[in-house]
C-alpha cells in the first residue's frame, strides 16, 4: 500500500501540471477563477472526477482557457501522449462556458473501425451556442459489444464568435483511442481481480480508478510514459536508464569532468 505522503506528492504534482498548463495558455500567472474579466472568454476543460477515472490523479485538464487554446492541444504529437481510454469508460465529460458569444459546430464525429467502435455521440446538439455559465456535456463512445480491439475516433470542433470569426487555433481536431473488450463471466473472478478491483454480480472484474484490463492489472498514466517508460501505478512512470521526469520526458543531466 502506498504511503499517504507518496499519494499526496502525486496529487500535488498533478495539480502543479494543471496549473502550469493553464498559466502557459493564459500567457502568464493568472488566477482566472478570481477575475471577472478573465472569466469572460471561452474555456473548455475535463473535470477532476473524469481525469481521475483515466489516470488515478485528481486534476483538471484544460483544452481552452479564457479564449486561448492550450499549447499541448496544438502539439501534433498530442494524441500519442494520451492513454487509451479503457473499455470500462464509455464516455468523456467536458465542461465549458463563455460570457462572450460563441457558436460551436461538432463537424466531425467518426470512428476508424466501426466494427469495433461506433461513431461518438453527443449529449447535446451538434451545433449551437456555448453556454454563459459552466455546463457539462458528454461524448459517448459506444463499443459494438461483440468485438474486442482498439479503435481511433476523431472529434472535430469549430468555434466562431458572433461576427463569424473562428477562435484562433480552431477548428480543433482530436484523434483519440478507445479500447473495446468482449468479456464474459469468469467463475474465478473473485480470485483474479487485482489492485483492489472487485468481482461484480456478473463475475466480471470492476476496476478502481486508475486501472484497467480484464483483471485490473494495467495502470493508467496521463500523459502516457515516454521514451520506453512503463506505467507501474496510476500516474507513476518507471523510466529506463538515461531518462527522468514525471513522464520520462527528459534525459538525464550528466556532468562531464574535464581533466587539465
Residue range 174-196, pLDDT digits in tens:
898 998 887 777 888 888 899 99
Kindly write down the DSSP assignment for every residue of 93-132, as one continuous string. EEEEE-SS-EEEEEEEEEES-TTTBPPPEESS-SEEE--S
For residue 254, pLDDT beyond 60: no
Q: If pLDDT is split at 50, 70 and 90, which confidence band does 137 have?
A: very high
Q: Which three cell numbers stand for residue 38?
A: 478573465
Q: How far apart are CA 92 and CA 97, in angstroms?
A: 17
Helix (H, G, I), strand (E, B) or coil at 8: helix
Average pLDDT over residues 62-90: 83
CA distances from 44 to 73, 115, 118, 180 (A): 12, 31, 25, 27
Q: Is the peptide bond before 171 cis (omega within 30 degrees of 0)?
A: yes
Higher pLDDT, 81 or 217: 217
Higher pLDDT, 76 or 52: 76
CA torsion sign for 9, 15, 18, 24 is negative
Average pLDDT over residues 41-53: 83
Q: How far apart are CA 184 and CA 170, in angstroms?
A: 42
CA torsion sign for 112, 113, 116, 121 is positive
* Predicted local distance difference test score (pLDDT) of residue 160: 97
List Cβ<8 Å contacts ≥24 apart for 165-171. 167/42, 167/64, 167/67, 167/69, 167/102, 168/68, 168/69, 169/68, 169/69, 169/73, 169/74, 170/69, 171/107
For residue 95, pLDDT beyond 80: yes
Amino acid at each position: 500500500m502506498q504511503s499517504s505522503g507518496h499519494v499526496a506528492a502525486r496529487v500535488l504534482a498533478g495539480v502543479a501540471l494543471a496549473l502550469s498548463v493553464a498559466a502557459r495558455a493564459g500567457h502568464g500567472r493568472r488566477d482566472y477563477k478570481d477575475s471577472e474579466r478573465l472569466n469572460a472568454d471561452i474555456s473548455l476543460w475535463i473535470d477532476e472526477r473524469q481525469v481521475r477515472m483515466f489516470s488515478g490523479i485528481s486534476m483538471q485538464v484544460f483544452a481552452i482557457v479564457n479564449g486561448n487554446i492550450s499549447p499541448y492541444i496544438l502539439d501534433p504529437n498530442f494524441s500519442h501522449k494520451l492513454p487509451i481510454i479503457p473499455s470500462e469508460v464509455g464516455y468523456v465529460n467536458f465542461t465549458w462556458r463563455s460570457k462572450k458569444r460563441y457558436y460551436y459546430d461538432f463537424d466531425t464525429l467518426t470512428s476508424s473501425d466501426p466494427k469495433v467502435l461506433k461513431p461518438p455521440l453527443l449529449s447535446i446538439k451538434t451545433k449551437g451556442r456555448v453556454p454563459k455559465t459552466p455546463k457539462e456535456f458528454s461524448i459517448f463512445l459506444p463499443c459494438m459489444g461483440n468485438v474486442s480491439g482498439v479503435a481511433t475516433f476523431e472529434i472535430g470542433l469549430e468555434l466562431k464568435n458572433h461576427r463569424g470569426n473562428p477562435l484562433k487555433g480552431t477548428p480543433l481536431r482530436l484523434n483519440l483511442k478507445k479500447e473495446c473488450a468482449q468479456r464474459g463471466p469468469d467463475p474465478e473472478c473473485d480470485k483474479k481481480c487485482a489492485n483492489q478491483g472487485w468481482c461484480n454480480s456478473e463475475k466480471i472484474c470492476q476496476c478502481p480508478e486508475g486501472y484497467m484490463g480484464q483483471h485490473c492489472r494495467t495502470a493508467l498514466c496521463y500523459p502516457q510514459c515516454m521514451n520506453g517508460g512503463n506505467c507501474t501505478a496510476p500516474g507513476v512512470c518507471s523510466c529506463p536508464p538515461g531518462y527522468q521526469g514525471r513522464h520520462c520526458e527528459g534525459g538525464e543531466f550528466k556532468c562531464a569532468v574535464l581533466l587539465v
